Structure 1
Amino acid sequence: MDVVRKTHWWQSDTLKWSVIALLGLLVGYLVVLMYAQGEYLFAIMTLLLSATGLYIFARRKTYAWRYVYPGLAGMGLFVLFPLVCTIAIAFTNYSSTNQLTQERAQQVLLDRQYQAGKSYSFGLYPSGDAWQLALTDGDSGKYYLSDAFTFGGEQTLTLNEADALPAGERATLRAITQNRQALSQITARLPDESELVMSSLRQFSGTRPLYTLAGDGTLTNNQSGVKYQPNNDIGFYESVNADGGWAGDKLSPGYTVTIGWYNFMRVFVDEGIQKPFMAIFVWTVVFSLLTVVLTVAVGMVLACLVQWESLKGKAIYRVLLILPYAVPSFISILIFKGLFNQSFGEINMMLSSLFGIKPAWFSDPNTARAMVVIVNTWLGYPYMMILCMGLLKAIPDDLYEASAMDGAGPFQNFFKITLPLLIKPLTPLMIASFAFNFNNFVLIQLLTNGGPDRLGTTTPAGYTDLLVSYTYRIAFEGGGGQDFGLAAAIATLIFLLVGALAIVNLKATRMKFD
């Protein structure tokens, strides 16, 4: 007997294909919009993810992929796409002075004006709920008056000659200042068709375009007559001399161009970058290794102590030792920053009373690094202690009983039984901890901000900077401008270094425990 399945309206193929068609049209519109705005990477990413998703959900043969696709799409959108964007930026001159496309930079330059011709003093006079603009020619004594208008957006006002200024009180300087932005968008047109714009808080003046664009793309300065051509090697309009060679005078803003491996070469060739980069890289590796070793050592020892059967009040000790893990890390870091204060911190007060010393925690490179390691050990040991407490429960008691029968003491038990059995399951977590501390930006930023600073570098760099904080400072704190291209190159190198170190650690661990 055949069973006829009833198909609901929301399960019909017509509705499914209608929804897919609407989503396809929406995606197509968004892709075209992104492409028109110059966001090519976003357009390509949106097109690929959307097309793949629509294909998977439209066909029955790809039904199983419907459960995998959201995770893959999320990884592509939030992991692979930022990585691709970072690598792409690393091959450009993208910076605070080179953010625009060439067309946009050209338009910004063409929009610039310079004052030319006569200047007229102006005044604003109330006209009901609106205003009237009045201009006065100081040379001829003529008055020009506009019709009533209201502020809002760009507008052109036609002014006619008047016998006298309007009756009523003239707007104060304060009112003009409050409406300065709106007044700057007003163009006043006189009876002779000349156009004026606001040049100061009391004057309207005639203006002319500062640059004129020729058919070959050359910009000519209408004041000085200097010609500028786009230099695609550096991403600026640069002045040219009579022979057609570059004269060195650059117009800002610049535009983004591809410069190949230049940013990567700077890391290894420019001494002002190479020396701090290599020193910071070594310190980053040492810091990450020290943090892993110390947090594991402290956490493991404390886990063994709180698991000691003869210890009374174990529950209280456990709570007290785990508390640092419960407090948000940024709060703990800021508290430690106050405790280590060189003049008023409690730590220096204690050291001065006991030993007569006051270490310069924030100005001396060695003590600053020691402080960073101490604070990070405090922040990281509770996590390792919790892990070790759980792993200790998995060690059979028979091993310790047999060891006791052989006359072994606590230290022999720890190094012969506990440590070997804990290290193997902890190894993947130690590698993850190493990778995390390799990019521990929050600690450095809040505690020392990378200081004390290194001298003689072309990029901002400090003795406690990790590679990630060094990259941040290049991108956002550079004295010569924010160099996003160089920062992206260093971020790409960090990705490769962390990946290589993780692979080496995994292989070494596999060889050790196989």
Structure 2
Amino acid sequence: MQSHQAADMAIDASDMENSTKTTLNHKKWLKWASLGLVSLINGYATILMYARGEYAFALLTLVLTALGVYVFARKSTYAHRYIYPGVAGMILFIIFPLMYTIGLAFTNYSGSNQLSFDRAQSVLLQQTYQSGDSYKFSMYEQNGLYNIAIQEDGQWYVTDSLDLAQLPEQDILLSRSEAPQGDKAPLKVVISNRAALSAITLASADGTELKMSGLRNFAEIQPVYVLQEDGETLINQRENITLKPNWEIGNYQAVDDNGAFVGEPLSPGFIVNIGMDNFVRIFTDPGIQGPFFKIFVWTVLFSALTVVLTLAVGVVLAQIVSWEELKGRGVYRVLLILPYAVPAFISILIFKGLFNQSFGEINQVLEGLFGISPAWFTDPFLAKTMIVIVNTWLGYPYMMILAMGLLKAIPEDLYEASAMDGAGPIDNFMNITLPLLVKPMIPLLIASFAFNFNNFVLIQLLTNGAPDMIGTSVPAGHTDLLVSYTYRIAFEGAGGQDFGLAGAIATIIFLLVGGLSLLNMKFTKLESE
């Protein structure tokens, strides 16, 4: 009996083991099938991006896919599958944009230079001009088909019947004929079929080619530029000028008999690497150098003033609302924290209305009391003062909350010992409260400085950089911070969007903010030690 039970148990164990192996095999096959499918889809996407010239995005897709397959396919790295999404997100949203921006800083990428060389060349080759006479044409309908007819010196030249929905790929021959047959089509028919007619090339018996040049005209059309055998040189047939690609500026340009570039560059241009030229422009071009250093100084001053004022206001208010003899402390705390609860963009837009020179409540009060109406948005100094005031209002609740928490951590024994020495409230604040508050807040103050260094939303919504500086090469305003200055160069340039120059300034901002982050880490380490 016992032997039968042992045999049954052995059989059950064998079945369970086989079942477990089967399950594991299924999971293994499912994992490899999923990895294969993901690799196939992303590989196809990578090939498409590479074929379209999007090399950076193709490389990004390849790196993320390869890293994912490496982590999930190997036993030794499978444990890292939980951190892969975080690493992939860091690569996708931090490292890649950073490297892409730095890469742009070394190119001439702009509104007029944003195509590859091949694409820019093809755009130029598609340009045409009227090289001969223009001829009026008419369309005649018969049984749903159309004949295009041109009359010259009393003689008709007519095409065969055409189905405008299915046009032949080759040129359409014009043949000498009697008066065309059918009903003459009205102008609205020509307009409705304009796209099809524009694609037609009419060829006469002597080889002249005609293209549509208006709603009622066909004309002799020739390409402006003809590509030569070297695959780079273009000949302007209209002006008989030789053009070659200028690889230093990324544009086609006319050349003289000695091969030197002359005249204005052609648009569109193409992207080329220009090395450190954008960085050199920042420090040598008077139209960029002057505004850049003014904006840099203002950015540092704005960030520092914001930190000092928000800290001062926050600490003083925290001290007041922590006073035990103050009645209704809870209500005051809630009211003082409210600016932190309201979305910043709403507060900024409200302040924009309050500071309005003509209708704002602030100017109405000042005019009623003192007879003055400050030009907050047109005077550079007043505009900067307004920005500091608004940002102090937005930032003091954060400092107040931090200070309220740190005040509770200060031992009461220190104040008692200070009172025994005859110290007053001001002495206690300056010698005990302030040092014990500021020291642990230094890393947070540095972080606040770095945040305000890139406070784009405040500038964009409140002043948009105004009032503008005069005589600059690129858009610049007296209240612009470096980040808003970069944005305006990239997207608001009157002479063309200069993404390369904007990338160079963004790289400098990254180095400055990165230095502040390292400084913050150093202070945090010293504080922990």
**2:142 maps to 1:142:** no
Larger radius of gyration: 2
Cα distance 1:178–1:343, how it changes in 2: closer, same or farther (>3 A)? farther
Q: Of the candidates 210, 216, 221, which is equivalent to residue 207 of structure 1?
A: 221
Cα shift at 1:312: 2.3
Describe the superposition over 1:317-356 as per-residue Cα deviations: whole angstroms up to 9, x where unpaired: 2232222222222222222122212222221121122122
* Separation of aligned partners in 2, 1:48 and 1:70: 13
Aligned counterpart for 1:35 among listed residues 46, 50, 53 = 50
Greater shift in the superposed pair: 16-25 or 354-363: 16-25
Contact 1:120 1:135 in 2 (8 A): no
Which residue, out of 83, 107, 113, partners 1:68? 83
Does the CA contact (< 8 Å) of 2:130 and 2:222 recur in 1? yes
Aligned to 2:5: none
- Counterpart of 1:441 in structure 2 is 456
Aligned pair 1:59/2:74, yes or no? yes
The aligned runs of 1:317-332 (5 Å cut-off) are 317-332=332-347
Does structure 1 residue 250 correspond to structure 2 residue 252? Answer: no
Q: Displacement of 1:156 after TM fit?
A: 6.8
Q: Once the 2 structures are TM-superposed, how far is the Cα of residue 72 of structure 1 from its aligned partner?
A: 1.4
- Letter of the 2:186 partner, please give it: R
Segment drifting more, 394-403 vs 253-262: 394-403
Of stretches 343-352 and 6-15 in structure 1, the one that deviates more from structure 2 is 6-15
How big is the shift at 1:227? Answer: 0.4
State the distance in 2 between where 1:133 and 1:327 align.
Answer: 70
One-letter amino acid of the counterpart of residue 207, structure 1: I
What is the rounded CA distance, in whole Å, between the counterparts of 2:238 and 2:434 in structure 1? Answer: 79
> 2:307·2:445 contact (CA, 8 Å) conserved in 1?
yes
Q: Indicate if the aligned counterparts of 1:123 and 1:171 stay in contact, CA closer than 8 A.
A: no
1:49 is the counterpart of 2:69: no
Distance 1:56 1:352 in 2: 69
May I ask how many residue pairs the two structures share in their alignment? 511
AA in 2 matched with 1:306 = V
Q: Does residue 196 of structure 1 match 2:210?
A: yes
Question: Which residue in the other structure is 1:163 paired with?
Answer: 179
Question: Secondary structure at 1:99's aligned position in 2?
Answer: strand
Alpha-carbon distance between aligned partners in 1 of 2:166 and 2:375, rounded to the nearest angstrom: 58
**Aligned 1:286-365 pairs, distance under 5 A:** 286-365=301-380
Q: Does residue 472 of structure 1 match 2:484?
A: no
Deviation at 1:368, TM superposition (A): 1.0
Report what 1:225 is aligned to. 240
Match of 1:494 in 2: 509
RMSD over aligned CA atoms reads 2.9
Q: Does the residue aligned with 2:49 lie in a helix, a strand or coil?
A: helix
CA contact (8 A) 1:322 1:382 kept: yes
CA separation of 1:402/1:10 partners in 2, compared to 1, >3 Å: closer, same or farther?
farther
Aligned-pair CA distance for 1:151: 6.0
Check whether the contact 1:474–1:483 (CA below 8 A) recurs between aligned residues. Answer: yes
For 2:204 and 2:48, how far apart are their aligned partners in 1?
41
CA contact (8 A) 1:151 1:183 kept: no
**Cα displacement (A) at 1:194:** 4.7
Equivalent residue, structure 1, for 2:276: 261
Between 344-353 and 90-99, report the one with greater CA deviation.
344-353
- Describe the superposition over 1:187-232 as per-residue Cα deviations: whole angstroms up to 9, x where unpaired: 4556766543321233222311111111122100111110001111
Partner SS, residue 226 of structure 2? strand
| CA distance in 2 between partners of 1:32 and 1:63 (Å) | 28
Structure 1 SS opposite 2:326 = coil
Contact 1:280 1:466 (8 Å CA) reproduced: yes
TM-score normalised by L of structure 1: 0.90
Match status 1:384 vs 2:399: yes
- Contact residue 147 and residue 159 of structure 2 kept, 8 A: yes
1:107 matched to 2:130 = no
TM-score, structure 2 as length reference: 0.88
CA contact (8 A) 1:126 1:170 kept: no
How much has 1:125 moved relative to structure 2?
Answer: 6.5
Do 2:490 and 2:499's aligned partners in 1 also have CA atoms closer than 8 Å? yes
* Cα distance in structure 1, aligned partners of 2:511 and 2:291: 19
Letter in 2 for 1:142: W
Q: 1:110 to 1:169 in 2, by over 3 A?
A: closer
Instruction: Report the equivalent of 1:460.
Output: 475
Deviation at 1:437, TM superposition (A): 0.7
Give, in whole Å, the separation in 2 of the partners of 1:323 and 1:150: 68
Matched-pair identity in %: 58
Q: Are 1:410 and 2:410 matched, yes or no? A: no
SS of alignment partner, residue 510 of structure 2: helix
Q: Secondary structure at the match of 1:250?
A: coil
SS of residue in 1 equivalent to 2:222: strand
Structure 2 unaligned residues grouped into runs of 5+ = 1-9
Partners of 1:321 and 1:131 in 2: how far apart? 79
Give distance in 1, aligned partners of 2:329 and 2:451.
31
SS of 2:269's equivalent in the other structure is coil
1:149 Cα offset (Å) = 3.9
The 2-side partners of 1:210 and 1:281 are apart by: 47
Q: What is the rounded CA distance, in whole Å, between the counterparts of 2:138 and 2:341 in structure 1? A: 64
**Cα deviation code 1:111-130 (max 9, x no counterpart):** 111112332324567778x6
